[in-house]
Copies of this chain bind each other. A is one copy, B any other.
Amino acid sequence: MEKEIDLGKYTLRTDLAIDHISENIDIPGIKSTTYLEDDIKITTVLVEEEGSLKIDKKKGNYITIEFSDVTDYTNREHVKEVFVEKLKELLSLCKIGEDQSCLVVGLGNDRSTPDALGPLTVEQILVTSHLFSFHEIHEGFRKVYAFTPGVMGKTGIETSDMIQSIISSIKPDFVLVVDSLASQSVDRVNKTIQMTNTGIHPGSGIGNTRKEISQEILGIPVIAIGVPTVVDAVTIVSDTIHYMYKHFSYTKANLNNPMNRLLTGSVNYLKKDVLIDEEEKKKLFGMVGSLEEEEVRKLIFEVLTPIGYNLMVTPKEVDFVVSKLSDVIGNGINRALHKNVENL
């Protein structure tokens, strides 16, 4: 979970996914499809040159897999299957052949659980490259390397520099980068796998493109796989204020519905379509209520920064969930990369 978008002194990696894609659906240069496999929702987005400028996202493919749970074995295997299928699809979109060699890079800090997804995934990777020299590997396998660069705070070395120098030594055909992400929305945490062939990169206009981990920088295809495992303090506060609007609007709209009154407190208003009443917002939250969401975020950021807190918000069961997620992604990668692998 390295930080890559410089937002004043505070930095944060954006999600790999494209937000609010439903709103973008009619934008020229953006093609998006969404479908369900049971309760798993898959969204694939193709951003073309024309659309890229409009939504300020790099052109390329974005795949998002949304699910509710990976702690149960059956659900987990199901998510894994969908992940394998979509990863194969992305490899194929990138025209990566079955014999091309792969370097799997696990970003993040293995001593900090929410940031350990990359290193834990690398633990699961079936590494084969050294076996090729011994002729111990037969058909159905490709050459795979794996590597955990560690975080800059502990190595003092720029991560993308380290990856680039390893690549120049071992010359793989493509790179898979796995990382924990800081989500921009509470309800995605540990419940989304995001994939893209546009690399892991800072937002536009910041200028530190040197840090980017992408095909442009490394010269070979880079597929980034990420799971949001934390939100920052700004997000939790901003989301909660937004939920307050929704909660109030929902409560007001259903005030005279006796059924709902009985259920107060237990209705998940988040899953309802609630029209947020702008007048209510202002009454409820005064000046703050009249701000746009992004303005609220900036305000909260400004308020929290001088206090100097460097906080992260994670689900309480994060250790357990991250270990299960690393199984999904690590063994999913194994299956997508090698024809002859089932489970390990």
Is the pair A186, B145 in contact by a Cβ cutoff of 8 Å? Answer: no
How would residues 134 to 148 of chain A score, 1 for a CB under 8 Å from any chain B CB and 0 otherwise? 000000000111111
Instruction: Give the total of A residues in contact with B, Cβ under 8 Å.
Output: 86
Please report which residues of chain A, range 295-322, place their CB below 8 angstroms from some CB of chain B when the two chains form the complex.
299-300, 302-320
Per the bound structure, the CA–CA distance linking A145 and B149 in Å amounts to 12
Which residues of the partner chain B approach A143 to less than 8 Å between Cβ atoms?
156
Q: Is the CB of B306 within 8 A of A316?
A: no
A268 on the interface (CB 8 Å rule)? yes
A112 within 8 A of B: yes
Residue contact A306 to B244, C-beta cutoff 8 Å:
no
A266 beta carbon closer than 8 Å to chain B? yes
User: Shortest Cβ distance from A66 into chain B, in angstroms?
Assistant: 16
| A85, CB-defined interface residue at 8 Å | no
State the A residues within 8 Å of B (CB).
8, 72-74, 110-113, 122-123, 125, 127-131, 143-148, 150, 152-158, 161-162, 164-166, 168-170, 186-187, 233, 236-237, 240-241, 243-244, 247, 265-270, 282-289, 299-300, 302-320, 342-344
Q: Give 7 CB contacts A-B under 8 Å.
A: A73-B344, A127-B154, A130-B156, A157-B170, A187-B309, A244-B288, A285-B289
